[in-house]
């Protein structure tokens, strides 16, 4: 069965590589679909509204990172985060605040590289080698970094190196150190989400539930309609390309 975290295409070599990579979890996007299985998307800057499936290109980076990022790095972070989402939706308290923080950072990084793909990068200047496409695909599937002629690596492998470094960089560790995620619910109005929040500590997990990071542990809270509207304005301001809800 295909994981809802990924979209896979099978290569002739037998390797399964994720070609269409969601920068935000498909499992979360699906919580916002309507009866027609579409998500309402409002694009910036013109306010154009569309209803799109969760596999639409707007939510996806096309091979922006390697299979190592998709599988070895992203899947464990997504799995731990989704466990907390499921717990919150069942009315329970968040147990693993770090799992939410790790996902928020991963989402931020993947969004950046999905919208700003890396160019090929020179790693070993002057190195002479011949790399067939089939061998490069095998390397990708097996979490290797294939070296092209001239000592170059494809942009998606450069992105994996960057993401691995940024997930543990002192600057990012400091931002999330000691962060607690508060559950904020709405009983009437619906939350919308930005396509990314960068270092604003917000994650909308479904139309009626938002997680907000802070440095003190706080009890779950039911937001009145005017406060939901305030969070939605924050989403609109934070959005780089669109909001969805």
Structure tokens given for 57 = 């290109």
Contact 25, 206 (CB under 8 A): no
Question: Residue 185 in contact with residue 88, Cβ under 8 Å?
Answer: no
pLDDT beyond 90 at 149: no
Question: Per-residue pLDDT averaged across 153-182, rounded?
Answer: 95
- Indicate yes or no: pTM above 0.85: yes
Please report, rounded to a whole number, the percentage of residues in the chain having pLDDT higher than 70. 93
Reply yes or no on whether the pLDDT at 164 is more than 60: yes
Contact 202, 211 (CB under 8 A): yes
pLDDT of residue 15: 53
pLDDT tens digits for range 87-135: 999 999 999 999 999 999 999 999 999 999 999 898 878 777 777 788 7
Mean pLDDT for the stretch of residues 70-92: 96
Q: How confident is the model at residue 145 (pLDDT cuts 50, 70, 90)?
A: confident
3-state secondary structure the chain: CCCCCCCEEECCCCCEEECEEECCCHHHHHHHCCCCCCEEEEECCCCCEEEECCCCHHHEEECCCCHHHHHHHHHHHHHHHHHHHHHHHCCCCCCCHHHHHHHHHHHHHHHHHHHCCCCCEECCCCCCCCCCHHHHHHHHHCCCCCCECCCEECHHHHHHHHHHHHHCCHHHHHHHCCCEEEEEECCCCCCCEECCCCCCCEEEEECCEEEEEECCCCCCEECCHHHHHHHHHHHHHHCCCEEEC
């Amino acid at each position: 069965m295909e994981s809802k975290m990924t979209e896979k295409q099978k290569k002739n070599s037998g390797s399964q590589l994720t070609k269409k990579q969601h920068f935000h979890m498909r499992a979360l996007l699906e919580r916002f679909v309507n009866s027609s299985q579409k998500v309402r998307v409002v694009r910036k800057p013109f306010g154009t509204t569309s209803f799109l499936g969760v596999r639409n290109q707007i939510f996806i980076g096309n091979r922006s990172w390697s299979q190592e990022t998709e599988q070895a790095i992203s899947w464990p972070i997504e799995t731990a985060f989704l466990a907390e989402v499921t717990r919150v939706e069942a009315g329970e308290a968040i147990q693993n605040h770090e799992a939410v923080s790790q996902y928020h950072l991963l989402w931020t990084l993947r969004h950046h590289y999905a919208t700003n793909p890396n160019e090929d990068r020179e790693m070993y200047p002057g190195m002479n080698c011949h790399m067939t496409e089939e061998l490069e695909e095998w390397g990708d599937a097996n979490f290797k970094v294939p070296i092209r002629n001239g000592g170059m690596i494809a942009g998606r492998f450069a992105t994996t190196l960057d993401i691995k470094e940024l997930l543990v960089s002192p600057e990012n560790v400091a931002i999330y150190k000691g962060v607690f995620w508060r559950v904020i619910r709405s009983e009437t109005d619906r939350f919308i989400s930005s396509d990314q929040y960068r270092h604003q500590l917000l994650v909308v997990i479904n139309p009626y539930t938002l997680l907000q990071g802070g440095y003190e542990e706080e009890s779950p809270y039911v937001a009145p309609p005017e406060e939901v509207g305030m969070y939605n304005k924050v989403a609109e301001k934070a959005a780089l390309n669109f909001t969805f809800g």
